[in-house]
Amino acid sequence: MQRRTFIQTLAAAGALGGLPLSVGRSLAAAGADGAISVEQLPPLEGDITLYLGRGEGGLYENVLEAIRKRNPGLNLEVRRGSTAALANTIVAEAEAGVRRADIFWAVDSGAIGLVSDAGLARPLPADLTGQLKTGFQYPQWAPVTGRIRTLPYNTERLTPEQIPDSVMALADSDLSIGWAPAYASFQSFVTAMRLVEGDKATADWLRGVSERAKSYAGELGVVMGVERGEVDLGFANHYYTLRLKSGKPDASVDLAFSNDDAGCLVNASGILALSEGDLPVNFIRYLLSREVQSYLASEAYEIPLVEGVAAPQGLPPLDRISPPEVDLTRLADLRPTLDLMRSVGVL
């Protein structure tokens, strides 16, 4: 879906103006399949400040522009920054007795956990969280879209059978590997590994992989390096490979998945309300609408987490992925992970 088409679609007037601000059971009934259209949502009116963790090459900004156009009575102020920095700012402002943000949209669930653990998130109504897929329903925040940790591999150098189904086995393999250890998504992956496998096993894994790893500045660089044949495989969120293949269908890269370990962690971007009232909650409803979820799936190749919206092509269904059982908000504290990575010399 092109940017202009999406904004025009979401901004179209329709029957929006006549709906009440209180939604409750009417929306729960209307969205029995989980995916509610913006045509069924109440108008947004009033002043609201959103703290937005930068991400997805401006696609989140497109969503905000479309919401503004759809709701002329909404005065939306946006403060932009890195997700981690904004989470720390929200906590610091609260400790100083100041509340400047009404909503926090983070590209990483760890930052959501930092704010939620500080007791700053407002409870969300059950009819909103009930739209989300099983395993992604939380009382105080709403996952918006998901991303799977994957093993992009060069199809001219490897067959799927040559790739271990355990990410931990890669430390002892003879495969050349691409990684981006300074990248936030990689650090969340290592944090999940620490929680699942323990610090010692994670440290040993980092040492083993580092002996055959080539470092890149980001995970798109990892995928491009894999496709060029610089390395056999790499570590990256799924959408970098799908984006590369969308522009180059014959690219020599495909996706492999590990099994029941941090290598197939399903992480999520997420949003939470920081102030009381209907407006922050109803704003969140727009991000879970069929139109926004479909746009982020088709343009960002992220995984919609609302029932009834198709996932990007090229991915297996989520119920065929076996991620580790990790509460995503436990990825909040990166300090032990960064200390560990520095101690073994990969940062």
Domains annotated on the chain, with CATH = 3-146+267-318 (3.40.190.10), 148-265+321-343 (3.40.190.10)
pLDDT tens for 150-172 read: 999 999 999 999 999 999 999 99
> Does residue 9 surpass a pLDDT of 50?
yes
Tell me the CA end-to-end span of the chain in Å, nearest whole number: 39
109 vs 103: CA distance, rounded Å: 14
Residue whose token pair is 């065929």: 320
- Asked if 263 and 192 touch (Cβ cutoff 8 Å), the reply is no
Q: What is the pLDDT of residue 157?
A: 96
Q: What is the pLDDT of residue 275?
A: 96
> Does residue 12 surpass a pLDDT of 90?
no
**Over residues 268-286, mean pLDDT:** 95
Question: Cα torsion for 86, 119, 123, 292, to the nearest 10°?
Answer: 10
Strands (E), the chain: 46-53, 74-81, 103-106, 142-154, 177-179, 213-215, 233-234, 236-237, 253-256, 266-273, 303-304
Q: What is the pLDDT of residue 107?
A: 85
- pTM score, whole prediction: 0.84
